[in-house]
Amino acid sequence: MGADAIQTNGHDQTKLTGGEEIQRLRCFVKNYEWGKLGPDSLVARLQEANTGQRVDPEIPHAEFWMGTHESGPSHVEFGSGHGGSDKCMVTLKSWVLDNPNLLGSKVVDKWGCDLPFLFKVLSVTKALSIQAHPNKALAEKLHREDPLLYRDNNHKPEIALAVTPFEALCGFVPLKELKEVITNVPEITELVGSKAADQIFNVHEHDEDERVKSVVRLIFTQLMSASNNETKQVISRMKNRLILETKHRELSEKEKLVLELEKQYTGDIGVISAFFFNYVKLNPGEALYLDANEPHAYISGDCVECMAASDNVVRAGLTPKHRDVQTLCSMLTYKLGYPEILKGFPLTPYVTRYLPPFDEFEVDHCDLPRGKSTVFPAVPGPSVYLVSEGKGQLGTGSSKFLVNRGDVLFVPADNEVHVTGESDVMKLYRAGVSSRFFQTL
């Protein structure tokens, strides 16, 4: 079959052979104020390449969404692609709803006619809110009670895979460190009272897990519930104390972070609550996964993120958005300790897989030098591929595309995918349903 031109990334590309197995997606961008500006933003660079349209360098580009969620739906583009009227766009959700075979029967049986995961790229220059995502039961309750705030009834476990050095707060610090925090940050006791704060010294590593958690829950809830006026005054005193102490000693990394957060969110309770959380620094290629009801806040950097198809967020600090302090404090697990960092495992010499303990998703990362090829095995569920850098060829047995940075492709179930690099390095990411899910059926 002869080659025919298609429009992608704002200029003509070539579809090498026929077939409709693979479809290009036009994707949705969120311009949250914490996003990076202009060419510093990986999201902005991907949007420009994906749509062929220049982005405004003065507008923050925070999240690049790839999926079916109604808050940021991707579209499938059909047509010969010369920029004329013969092109048409439909949402990816409506396309898979009309063609459930694209998802595979096992996925449809489990999740219905929809993509069970949401794939994103984040470009972070200012801390995101201190937040957690509800489990399924709580998500259903929150959505039922306030559907405008909690837009769907799904849980939202997620993974963040660092593209650049990436920083986050995640989970509560170990008990020993938490005792040091209460001792060395007197402003916490000012806000929660000595009666509550001193309870941390009455629990020990060998105590029952629930006893330790109940004390942490009490102190953290008291802290997050402090009045705005008192919080602002106490944080101002803490800031002045730390600045004064820099004349006599080197501040810890956490103390330096807290001062930076105070510049971003002056007087916010999230500034001082940061002392309770692990300060995680990911190198490119390292990943952090977050289960339901675990507190976290992304601080800076670019990452690829994948999650169950939900946009439910319960916030309580470092944000101008709505806060639901009591819901957040009551839903957290209060599990203490440093989070597990995933480094992935090799599928091929060029592909690394990240497999968190969730059914809905897994993520593959591929670095492919010029002239090298690799194969992604056929799986019984759908996949979404993102080319984040470079160019090459991607295809199945009957359909092959030239792809560039910014291209996003939907690959239906049961398709083996062949990729060949045609630049110094071609980088791509794949999101798909967890291979563990299919193995357990």
271: alpha, beta or left? (left if phi > 0; alpha if psi -120 to 50): alpha
- Rounded to the nearest 10 degrees, the angle between the axes of helix 253-264 and helix 228-245 is 130
The phi, psi pair for 131, rounded to 5°, reads -150, 170
Beta bridge partners of 281: 167
Count, residues in the chain = 441
Give the N- to C-terminal CA distance of the chain in Å, as an integer. 39
Torsion angle in degrees (nearest 10) through CA of 434, 435, 440, 441: 90
- How many angstroms separate the CA atoms of 130 and 323, rounded? 10
CA 412 to chain CA centroid, nearest Å: 23
Residue from 156, 174, 160, 131 nearest 296 by CA: 131
Active site residues: 315
As annotated, the binding site for Zn(2+) includes: 131, 133, 158, 296
Evaluate whether 308 touches 110 at the Cβ level (below 8 Å).
Answer: no
As annotated, the binding site includes: 131, 133, 158, 296
C-alpha to C-alpha distances, 417 to 33, 212, 372, 405, nearest whole angstrom: 37, 49, 14, 18
